[in-house]
Structures are given as C-alpha cells and as structure tokens.
C-alpha cells in the first residue's frame, strides 16, 4: 500500500507510476501553472498530469524544469502525463500531436501518453500511433482516458500492446465497479480524474462525518478511499496549502466499515460527459 507521495504502483510493462499526482485541468497557462507544478514537486509530488486541450503544456514544462533545477531532482524522478485531443486522433495526426506536445513541454520523453476520449472510428488508429511512440522509446507507457469496458475491449481486440492505464471520472458518486473489476482482471491501472467531483462532494454528509472522525478534511478522506481501492488519483489545485493537504493522505487508514460506507455512496452520477455520448 502507498506509504508516501513517492509510492508507486507498477504498470503491466514494469514502469512505476506514483499513486498520487497533481492534475492541472483548468489551470491557466503561465505563472499559475508554473507555480502549482513547482509547489507540488517541492512538497514531494512526483507525478504531473496535463493534456494538449488544457492549453498549459508550456507552463507545465517550465515548472518541471525550474523545479528540477531548484530541488536537484532528476527528470527520471518525475512522472509526466499528457493526452492527445479528439481533433488529432488518427495515425499520422496523433504522431504529429505528440511532437507538438513534446515541443511545448520541452522534454525528451513522456512517461505516459493517453488518448483523451474514445472518438468513434478514430481511437483505434490513434492507438496504433501510441504503440509506435512506445516502441520508439519516446513514451514509457501508453493508455487511454474516458474508456468504458466496451471501448477497452475494442482496442484490445487488435492491439499489439494493451493499455496500461485508463483515466476516468471516479469518485464516491461514480464508483465504476464494473470498470474497476475489468481493469483489475486485465492488469490495467485505473486512474481517477475529478476525484472530488469538482468540489460537489465537499458537503456530502457521510464524508463530512468521516472527516470529523479521522480528523482529516473531506478531500483527504476521498483521496484515501481512492488509494485504498487501488485507484491512482490526480487532484487539482493551484493553492499551496491545498496541494499540501491533498498530498497528506499517507498517515491514516480508513477502516473496512468506513470504506464500505463510502462505496455505498455510489449513484452512477457523472459531473463530466458520458464517454458513450459526447460531441466534441
């Protein structure tokens, strides 16, 4: 089980991926994202998750470089993820999108590259491109985001390399039991975006009570639930104290009863689009 912010899970190709990372969705390009990346790495985070569509890859790259210079860490100590956007899905377009991402990040390689959404008729060609990048050693691991079980099965039907990660909306109101079971059975690591349901879970009475019981914040209870369910998670924040708070979930453990209480909150309720029904 994860002991600290540097604790990792092992992907099916042997690559170590931190259990907890910083997400930068909706963090503005420029100083805001540079500073949040630096703050997170300073505090002990080793994983940073961005995407082409977030429009902040340059700032993430700058934050990474400045943090490395400041802390004396090596690039190999960090785990950087980005994602290819829907408009760039396809074999050649995905390869070109990867080049654009790397130019913006200013890095020599990426740790994880994901297909952001399962655009019908396009994601299988994009997956071939990810396999090419992986074989070339330009990315250490490849995966998908927002893929349901049937999308994963479709990719795996003719993939040479199966996805290592599926990053999806996951929180106590959307516990995705079938997807979790499928990923576990197939050696795919499940990763949570929007673990706090974009703040909508912060006044959920059951979680508020547990926070009081453990002397922790509601966010910390939810992130701990993720970890104990063996789900990698990437909470987003631009505030130093929140980044620190989100990273301080390794000094307590939820009891089996309390885990079951949290599991029981599932409503199959999304805050983001349904991967079977989106039009962007």
Instruction: Give the pLDDT of the chain (280 residues) as one tens digit per residue.
Output: 788 999 999 999 999 999 999 999 999 999 999 999 999 999 999 999 999 999 999 999 999 999 999 999 999 999 999 999 999 999 999 999 999 999 999 999 999 999 999 999 999 999 999 999 999 999 999 999 999 999 999 999 999 999 999 999 999 999 999 999 999 999 999 999 999 999 999 999 999 999 999 999 999 999 999 999 999 999 999 999 999 999 999 999 999 999 999 999 999 999 999 999 999 9
Question: What span, in angstroms and rounded, lies between the C-alpha atoms of 151 and 170?
Answer: 17
Asked if 261 and 32 touch (Cβ cutoff 8 Å), the reply is: no
pTM of the predicted structure, to 2 decimals:
0.97
Q: Which helix (H) or strand (E) holds 154?
A: helix 149-158
**Residue partners of 202: CB distance under 8 A and separation at least 6:** 196, 218, 219
Which member of 54, 123, 134, 170 is catalytic?
A: 54
Query: What sign has the CA pseudo-torsion 99, 143, 25, 17?
Result: negative
Asked if 115 and 90 touch (Cβ cutoff 8 Å), the reply is: no
Name which CATH class applies to 8-196+231-236: alpha beta
Which tokens hold the place of 107? 């890095």
Question: Would you list the domain boundaries of the chain?
Answer: 8-196+231-236
Concerning whether 123 is annotated as a catalytic residue, the answer is no
């Amino acid at each position: 089980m994860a002991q600290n912010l540097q604790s990792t899970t092992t992907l099916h190709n042997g690559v170590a991926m931190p259990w907890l990372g910083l997400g930068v969705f909706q963090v503005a390009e420029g100083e805001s994202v540079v500073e949040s990346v630096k703050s997170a790495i300073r505090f002990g985070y080793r994983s940073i998750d961005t995407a082409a569509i977030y429009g902040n890859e340059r700032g993430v790259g700058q934050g990474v470089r400045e943090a490395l210079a400041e802390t004396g860490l090596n690039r190999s100590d960090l785990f950087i993820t980005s994602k290819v956007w829907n408009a760039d899905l396809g074999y050649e377009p995905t390869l070109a999108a990867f080049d654009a991402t790397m130019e913006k990040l200013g890095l020599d390689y990426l740790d994880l590259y994901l297909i952001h959404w399962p655009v019908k008729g396009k994601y299988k060609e994009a997956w071939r491109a990810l396999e090419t990048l992986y074989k070339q050693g330009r990315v250490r691991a490849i995966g998908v985001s927002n893929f349901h079980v049937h999308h994963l099965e479709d990719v795996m039907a003719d993939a040479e390399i199966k996805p290592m990660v599926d990053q999806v909306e996951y929180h106590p109101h959307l516990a995705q039991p079938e997807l979790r079971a499928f990923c576990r059975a197939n050696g795919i690591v499940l990763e949570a975006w929007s673990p706090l349901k974009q703040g909508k879970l912060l006044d959920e009475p059951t979680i508020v009570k547990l926070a009081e019981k453990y002397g922790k914040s509601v966010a910390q209870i939810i992130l701990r639930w993720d970890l104990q369910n063996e789900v990698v998670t990437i909470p987003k924040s631009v505030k130093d104290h929140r980044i620190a708070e989100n990273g301080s979930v390794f000094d307590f453990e939820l009891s089996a009863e309390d885990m079951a209480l949290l599991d029981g909150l599932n409503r199959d309720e999304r805050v983001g689009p349904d991967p079977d029904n989106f039009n962007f």
